[in-house]
Amino acid sequence: VLNGSASSFFDDQRGTLQPTDFDTLNFSEGEDGYLLFDPSACQNAEPNGPMPIFSLSPSDLRLIFAGISDDASNITLRDFNPARNQLEFVERAPGDSLPNVVSVRLFERGSSRTAAAIYSFKPVGSSSAEDHEERVNRWLRTIINQAGRAQ
Protein backbone atom coordinates (compact mmCIF):
# COMPACT_ATOMS: atom_id res chain seq x y z
CA VAL A 1 0.00 0.00 0.00
CA LEU A 2 1.37 3.38 -0.99
CA ASN A 3 1.40 6.22 1.52
CA GLY A 4 2.34 9.31 -0.45
CA SER A 5 4.30 9.57 -3.67
CA ALA A 6 6.37 6.84 -5.23
CA SER A 7 9.50 8.81 -4.33
CA SER A 8 8.72 8.44 -0.61
CA PHE A 9 8.10 4.76 -1.24
CA PHE A 10 11.67 4.21 -2.46
CA ASP A 11 13.65 7.12 -1.06
CA ASP A 12 17.00 6.71 0.65
CA GLN A 13 15.27 6.56 4.01
CA ARG A 14 13.04 3.70 5.16
CA GLY A 15 10.00 4.96 3.18
CA THR A 16 6.79 2.93 3.36
CA LEU A 17 7.97 -0.23 1.62
CA GLN A 18 7.90 -3.14 4.07
CA PRO A 19 10.32 -6.08 3.86
CA THR A 20 9.01 -9.19 2.11
CA ASP A 21 7.40 -11.66 4.50
CA PHE A 22 8.30 -14.96 2.86
CA ASP A 23 6.17 -16.85 5.40
CA THR A 24 2.91 -15.19 4.28
CA LEU A 25 3.79 -14.11 0.73
CA ASN A 26 0.93 -14.44 -1.78
CA PHE A 27 2.34 -15.18 -5.23
CA SER A 28 1.36 -17.34 -8.18
CA GLU A 29 3.52 -18.32 -11.11
CA GLY A 30 2.70 -16.05 -14.03
CA GLU A 31 2.31 -12.93 -11.89
CA ASP A 32 4.61 -9.99 -12.51
CA GLY A 33 7.51 -11.09 -10.35
CA TYR A 34 9.78 -14.08 -9.92
CA LEU A 35 10.10 -16.26 -6.81
CA LEU A 36 12.55 -19.01 -5.92
CA PHE A 37 11.47 -20.63 -2.67
CA ASP A 38 10.76 -23.98 -1.04
CA PRO A 39 7.18 -24.91 -2.07
CA SER A 40 6.61 -26.81 1.18
CA ALA A 41 7.53 -23.74 3.25
CA CYS A 42 5.19 -21.21 1.63
CA GLN A 43 1.52 -21.88 2.16
CA ASN A 44 0.25 -18.97 0.05
CA ALA A 45 2.75 -18.90 -2.80
CA GLU A 46 3.50 -20.93 -5.89
CA PRO A 47 7.23 -20.40 -6.54
CA ASN A 48 8.67 -20.32 -10.04
CA GLY A 49 11.37 -22.72 -8.89
CA PRO A 50 13.26 -24.13 -5.91
CA MET A 51 15.74 -22.19 -3.82
CA PRO A 52 19.34 -22.48 -5.02
CA ILE A 53 21.68 -24.08 -2.49
CA PHE A 54 25.23 -22.81 -2.13
CA SER A 55 28.23 -24.50 -0.53
CA LEU A 56 28.79 -21.58 1.80
CA SER A 57 27.85 -20.63 5.33
CA PRO A 58 24.97 -18.16 5.69
CA SER A 59 27.37 -15.43 6.81
CA ASP A 60 29.66 -15.94 3.78
CA LEU A 61 26.73 -15.99 1.36
CA ARG A 62 25.22 -12.92 3.04
CA LEU A 63 28.46 -11.01 2.46
CA ILE A 64 28.45 -11.97 -1.21
CA PHE A 65 24.84 -10.84 -1.65
CA ALA A 66 25.56 -7.58 0.20
CA GLY A 67 28.56 -7.06 -2.07
CA ILE A 68 26.28 -6.84 -5.09
CA SER A 69 25.17 -3.40 -3.94
CA ASP A 70 28.81 -2.36 -3.41
CA ASP A 71 29.69 -3.33 -6.98
CA ALA A 72 26.70 -1.84 -8.82
CA SER A 73 25.72 1.83 -8.62
CA ASN A 74 22.08 1.05 -9.51
CA ILE A 75 21.58 -1.39 -6.60
CA THR A 76 21.10 -0.32 -2.99
CA LEU A 77 20.92 -2.51 0.09
CA ARG A 78 17.76 -1.03 1.61
CA ASP A 79 17.30 -3.20 4.68
CA PHE A 80 19.03 -6.03 6.54
CA ASN A 81 17.38 -8.10 9.25
CA PRO A 82 20.07 -10.24 10.93
CA ALA A 83 17.54 -12.17 13.03
CA ARG A 84 15.77 -13.40 9.87
CA ASN A 85 18.95 -13.45 7.75
CA GLN A 86 17.10 -11.34 5.19
CA LEU A 87 18.31 -8.59 2.86
CA GLU A 88 16.16 -6.16 0.85
CA PHE A 89 17.59 -4.48 -2.24
CA VAL A 90 16.30 -1.77 -4.56
CA GLU A 91 17.52 -1.96 -8.16
CA ARG A 92 17.01 0.93 -10.57
CA ALA A 93 17.16 -0.20 -14.20
CA PRO A 94 18.55 2.34 -16.69
CA GLY A 95 15.73 4.38 -18.21
CA ASP A 96 13.20 3.10 -15.69
CA SER A 97 11.94 5.75 -13.28
CA LEU A 98 10.56 3.28 -10.72
CA PRO A 99 12.86 0.68 -9.15
CA ASN A 100 12.46 -3.03 -8.61
CA VAL A 101 12.87 -4.83 -5.31
CA VAL A 102 14.94 -7.97 -4.78
CA SER A 103 14.32 -9.70 -1.45
CA VAL A 104 16.71 -12.42 -0.27
CA ARG A 105 16.32 -14.66 2.76
CA LEU A 106 19.01 -17.20 3.65
CA PHE A 107 18.39 -20.58 5.28
CA GLU A 108 21.13 -22.74 6.76
CA ARG A 109 21.06 -26.26 5.30
CA GLY A 110 23.67 -28.16 7.27
CA SER A 111 27.39 -27.64 7.50
CA SER A 112 28.47 -24.83 5.17
CA ARG A 113 25.37 -25.09 2.98
CA THR A 114 22.86 -22.29 2.56
CA ALA A 115 19.64 -22.02 0.57
CA ALA A 116 18.58 -18.63 -0.77
CA ALA A 117 14.94 -17.61 -1.19
CA ILE A 118 14.86 -14.85 -3.82
CA TYR A 119 11.89 -12.70 -4.82
CA SER A 120 12.07 -10.00 -7.49
CA PHE A 121 9.09 -7.69 -7.95
CA LYS A 122 8.10 -4.13 -8.77
CA PRO A 123 5.63 -2.73 -6.23
CA VAL A 124 4.81 0.36 -8.31
CA GLY A 125 4.58 0.55 -12.10
CA SER A 126 4.49 -2.09 -14.78
CA SER A 127 6.87 -5.00 -15.23
CA SER A 128 6.87 -8.51 -16.61
CA ALA A 129 7.61 -11.91 -15.14
CA GLU A 130 10.30 -12.33 -17.79
CA ASP A 131 12.09 -9.15 -16.65
CA HIS A 132 12.13 -10.43 -13.08
CA GLU A 133 13.31 -13.90 -14.11
CA GLU A 134 16.18 -12.35 -16.06
CA ARG A 135 17.07 -10.18 -13.04
CA VAL A 136 17.12 -13.15 -10.65
CA ASN A 137 19.20 -15.20 -13.10
CA ARG A 138 21.66 -12.30 -13.50
CA TRP A 139 21.98 -12.04 -9.71
CA LEU A 140 22.50 -15.80 -9.43
CA ARG A 141 25.24 -15.73 -12.09
CA THR A 142 26.98 -13.00 -10.09
CA ILE A 143 26.65 -14.94 -6.83
CA ILE A 144 27.85 -18.17 -8.43
CA ASN A 145 30.84 -16.40 -9.98
CA GLN A 146 31.77 -14.88 -6.64
CA ALA A 147 31.06 -18.01 -4.61
CA GLY A 148 33.08 -20.29 -6.85
CA ARG A 149 30.36 -22.92 -7.32
CA ALA A 150 26.75 -23.72 -6.41
CA GLN A 151 25.28 -27.13 -5.75
pTM: 0.86
User: What is the separation, in whole angstroms, between the first and last Cα of the chain?
Assistant: 38
Per-residue pLDDT tens digits for 75-110: 999 999 999 999 999 999 888 888 999 999 999 998
What's the sign of the alpha-carbon dihedral 58, 87, 66, 128? positive
Other beta carbons within 10 Å of 69: 18
Contacts 24+ apart (CB under 8 A), 40-49: 48/129, 48/133
Per-residue pLDDT tens digits for 23-69: 899 998 778 899 999 887 778 899 999 999 999 999 999 999 999 98
DSSP code of 9? H
Mention every residue, 6+ apart, whose C-beta is less than 8 A from residue 150. Answer: 52, 53, 54, 55, 140, 143, 144
